[in-house]
Amino acid sequence: MVIVEGAFEQARQLDHGWIGPEHCLLAILATPNVASAALADVGLTYYRLREHLLSLSYDPDIPTPRFHKARKGVGPNPAAHKLMGWASGFAVGVGLRSTRPEHWLIAMLYLDDGGAMWLDPFGVSAQAAIDALASRGVRVPEFAPVEYQPWRGPRTVYVSKKELQPILDLLSKKHPPGSEWKWGFNWVGKPRRGRISAEEGIDLDAIVAEAGSQTTA
């Protein structure tokens, strides 16, 4: 996939040890195509996004992987993996076997904060980007895209590998996808620990305690 290869190159240039939706968006913007033209229509360009990503500081508690020349490559994070599937789905939906940049952009804008969050710093809404695509003749879904909503009062906990799955099971049960309050997790550190974050509407401490009591019962 051209966008995946481009995203890898963008991650390498930024010295990032992962590929996320932000790198895929950079890959779209890096070359002339209908998607990059639509984004330019609403004020987002390759250099604006790249400078923004370079300015970001990451959580010091999380050892951010760095790109290393000796590696054969870096892999997509979970959000990028999901994005790949959605982009392929949008391509198949219009009768194509391979994806085009516009399919990746549409996928980002309809996938739970998968890409819309990277438009937000520039005052660009997901709907504005979709409208720009439509104005250039791209077939887009008939329903509205997912608008980015910053996390509200997130709380974060770190747990062992053994503790993680019961907590995720409870979170999935009490706050399934599509619920009002968001949560997520990632692996961090050595030895590996689970880093779980949840918005203020989720009593994360209570869920951790409940999962622990079920494990020891």
- Tens of pLDDT along 99-130? 999 999 999 999 876 678 999 999 999 999 99
Mean pLDDT of all residues in 52-80: 70
Residue appearing with tokens 């009593």:
203
Residue 74's CB is within 10 A of a number of other CB atoms, namely 19
Q: Which helix (H) or strand (E) holds 128?
A: helix 126-135
In the chain, which residues fall in CATH 1.10.1780.10? 2-135
Distance CA 112, CA 153 (A): 19
User: Which ranges in the chain are annotated with CATH 3.30.70?
Assistant: 155-216
pLDDT at site 63: 54
Kindly tell me if the per-residue pLDDT of 196 is higher than 80: yes
Q: List Cβ neighbours of 74 (8 Å cut-off, separation of 6 or more).
A: 8, 11, 12, 16, 17, 18, 19, 65, 67
Pick the CATH number of 155-216 from 1.10.3470, 3.40.50, 3.30.70, 3.10.450: 3.30.70
Judge if pTM exceeds 0.85.
no
As a CATH number, domain 2-135 is: 1.10.1780.10
